[in-house]
Structure 1
Amino acid sequence: MSNSILAGLQPMHPGEFLRETVLPGLDESMTGIASALGLSRQSLYQIVNEKRPVTPRVALRLAKAFGNSAEFWLDMQARYDLAIEREEDAEGLARVRALAA
């Protein structure tokens, strides 16, 4: 996919990715998944419902469980956080002046 196509897409919260892409392919209950990750059921639900961010500790656990990297999960969280902050602080950012050329 080209960058111009991706530029119009809003970054995804890692919980949405888990909920929509990863977890439906598992033959496991949310309780079982939480247990396998070493998380409380409440913590997992908060992440998949986008009420809680993926922390470095959780990213390490997700990476081990799903065979990818902690950086994958943290990068997804950081991109999401930046997009939200950019939107919420648009007025404040507009007032910031450049200090370097």
Structure 2
Amino acid sequence: MNNHKDLRIPTGPGDVLLYEYLKPLNLEISDLADMLNVDRNTASALIANKIPLTADMVSRLAKTFNTSVKFWLNLQKNSDNPR
């Protein structure tokens, strides 16, 4: 019997953006940039999980995708503090 936990890297906000929103909706990074009113480099960095979500960006994402602010905050928190 194996007594150690299998560690899984938490799903980052960028992964959720890509696989749960952009791909199913056939959106490109430039579309996301336009929707969030940010430049393409910022949208790309979000998708790649290279920058953390700010309070402003969390609000933009929640409004754009009709989700709660808490949803995005929890994704970021879990990504920042893996168990």
Partner of residue 49, structure 2 = 50
1:68: how far off? 0.5
CA RMSD of aligned residues (A): 1.8
> Which moves more between the two structures, 8-17 or 74-83?
8-17
> Which moves more between the two structures, 22-31 or 43-52?
22-31
Count how many residue pairs are aligned between Structure 1 and Structure 2. Answer: 78
1:75: how far off? 0.9
1:8: how far off? 5.8
Q: What does residue range 87-98 of structure 1 map to in structure 2 within 5 Å?
A: none
Q: TM-score, normalised by structure 1?
A: 0.68
> Which moves more between the two structures, 64-73 or 25-34?
25-34
Q: TM-score, normalised by structure 2?
A: 0.81
Partner of residue 35, structure 2 = 36
Which has the greater radius of gyration?
Answer: 1
TM superposition outliers: structure 1 runs of 4+ over 6 Å: none
Larger RCO, structure (CA 8 Å, separation 6 or more): 2
Gaps of 5+ in 2: 1-5
Partner of residue 17, structure 1 = 16
> 1:40-75: per-residue Cα shift (whole Å, max 9, x none)?
110010010111111111110000010111111011
Identity %: 31
Partner of residue 98, structure 1 = none
Structure with the higher helix share, 1 or 2: 1
> 1:19-41: per-residue Cα shift (whole Å, max 9, x none)?
12211022333212211111111
